[in-house]
């Protein structure tokens, strides 16, 4: 193996793509800012317990760990920024008992890729809202997520909705233990209705709960699914509340294409309620995911209602608008010292100025002119 080769699923980003990504990042952060979301920048590495690897098996498998040579304690390289932002809200911003709107943009590192074509170094961008338990907060975040999708050419966006609360209410009523719930969750995620039916039969659940859990994988489709769910699922207050929240979101986005799936439970273990995702045209997987995760801050000393979304900006590579390299002004090497003041004025005004050493350079095709002295005045002259 050559010494310069990179690990699998790790790649350099070259100038043309880097310009696209950075421009998109700037637009997204500007979008978040005008909606009241303040930028935070958590560290790339923390003590592994702070990254909540001990409460989420999937997150734990993704997290790369090393030993801190200063303290001897185990460090983790973040695989998800959301727990870090929850820590910031719960600890560093605890003086604010009201709403905190926070956003972020930074690289995360995965010990293993999510898929065959996935990178192990996503550029995670997202927004989180803490301190408001009403579905209105979820609607605000969904609106911001959909607006974020406009940075790339992904065509018509499909909003996918689910609610982990429906499954958890049924599992609790059926008196499933934690291991049984996790096992059934896995079958639900695989959309294996026959396997779900067989499993509840083996457990000999009460007929009402067995029927309800077996029904979940079939409750998907357009907005009419909600009426079907109300008619067929048991009358539990938690189920009714979940369906009410889903209906409120549907009403808030009356013109938006919506898909509802009550067995769409592909979430991190810390999610607690409404789930939402955005799918783009010709995209085989969601390009953005989010949901409610009330109480996550309790692990840092302050339990708070919370909702938010995130996505990997690198997913949009190939769909982002082209960002051309800035045209450059050349100044001959022998003139650079004498023209220094003029060069700095041009650069301060946003003009790219480079020194011409007499050899070809990577901006040769974008030369806007040359800085030359005409009657004691440095001026940009067209070639």
Per the DSSP assignment, residues forming a β-bridge with 46 are 76
HSE-CB for 23 with a 13 A CA cutoff: 18
DSSP state of 38: E
Q: Is the Cβ–Cβ distance between 126 and 311 less than 8 Å?
A: yes
81 is in an annotated binding site: yes
82 is in an annotated binding site: yes
65 is in an annotated binding site: no
DSSP state of 339: T
SS3 for 147-189 is HHHHHCCCCCCEEEEEEHHHHHHHHHHCCCCHHHHHHHHHHHH
Nearest CA among 73, 72, 81, 76 for reference residue 63 = 76
Cα–Cα distance, 163 to 263 (Å, whole number): 8
Which are the contacts of 270, defined by CB distance < 8 A and separation ≥ 6?
52, 55, 56, 82, 83, 293, 296
DSSP state of 114: S
Cα–Cα distance, 234 to 236 (Å, whole number): 6
Give 358: exposed, middle or buried? Use CB within 10 Å, 0-12, 13-18, 19+.
exposed
| Tokens, residue 64 | 């790369």
Which are the contacts of 373, defined by CB distance < 8 A and separation ≥ 6?
335, 338, 339, 379
Residue 303, CA distances (Å) to 87, 94, 140, 190, 296 in order: 10, 11, 21, 32, 6
Cα–Cα distance, 280 to 248 (Å, whole number): 23
266 is in an annotated binding site: yes
Q: DSSP string spanning 43-89?
A: -SEEEGGGGTTTT-HHHHHH-EEEE-TTT--EEEE-S-SHHHHHHII
Instruction: Extract the annotated binding site.
Output: 80-82, 124, 128, 266
Instruction: Extract the annotated binding site for L-histidine.
Output: 80-82, 124, 128, 266
């Amino acid at each position: 193996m050559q010494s310069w080769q990179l690990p699998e699923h790790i790649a350099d980003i070259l100038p043309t793509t880097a310009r696209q990504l950075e421009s998109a990042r700037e637009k997204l952060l500007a979008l978040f800012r005008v909606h009241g979301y303040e930028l935070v920048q958590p560290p790339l590495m923390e003590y592994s317990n702070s990254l909540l690897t001990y409460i989420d098996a999937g997150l734990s498998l993704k997290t790369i760990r090393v030993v801190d040579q200063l303290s001897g304690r185990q460090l983790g390289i973040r695989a998800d920024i959301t727990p870090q932002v929850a820590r910031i809200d719960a600890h560093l911003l605890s003086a604010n008992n009201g709403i905190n709107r926070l956003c972020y943009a930074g690289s995360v590192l995965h010990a293993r890729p999510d898929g065959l074509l996935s990178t192990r170094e996503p550029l995670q961008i997202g927004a989180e809202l803490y301190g408001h338990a009403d579905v209105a907060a979820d609607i605000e975040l969904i609106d911001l997520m959909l607006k974020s999708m406009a940075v790339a050419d992904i065509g018509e966006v499909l909003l996918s909705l689910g609610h982990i609360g429906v499954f958890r209410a049924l599992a609790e009523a059926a008196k499933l233990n934690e291991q049984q719930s996790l096992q059934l969750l896995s079958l639900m995620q695989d959309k294996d209705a026959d396997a779900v039916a067989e499993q509840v039969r083996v457990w000999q659940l009460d007929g009402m709960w067995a029927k309800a859990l077996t029904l979940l994988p079939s409750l998907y489709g357009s907005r009419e699914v909600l009426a079907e769910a109300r008619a067929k699922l048991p009358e539990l207050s938690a189920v009714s509340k979940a369906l009410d929240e889903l209906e409120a979101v549907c009403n808030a986005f009356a013109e938006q294409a919506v898909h509802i799936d009550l067995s769409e439970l592909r979430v991190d273990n810390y999610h607690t309620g409404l789930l939402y995702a955005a799918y783009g045209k010709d995209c085989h997987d969601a390009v953005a995911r989010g949901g409610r995760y009330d109480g996550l801050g309790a692990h840092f000393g302050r339990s708070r209602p919370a909702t938010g979304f995130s996505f990997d900006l690198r997913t949009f590579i190939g769909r982002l608008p082209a960002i051309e390299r800035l045209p450059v002004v050349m100044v001959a090497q022998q003139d650079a010292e004498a023209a220094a003041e003029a060069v700095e004025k041009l650069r301060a005004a946003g003009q790219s100025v480079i020194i011409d050493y007499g050899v070809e350079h990577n901006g040769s095709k974008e030369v806007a002119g040359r800085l030359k002295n005409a009657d004691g005045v440095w001026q940009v002259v067209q070639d």
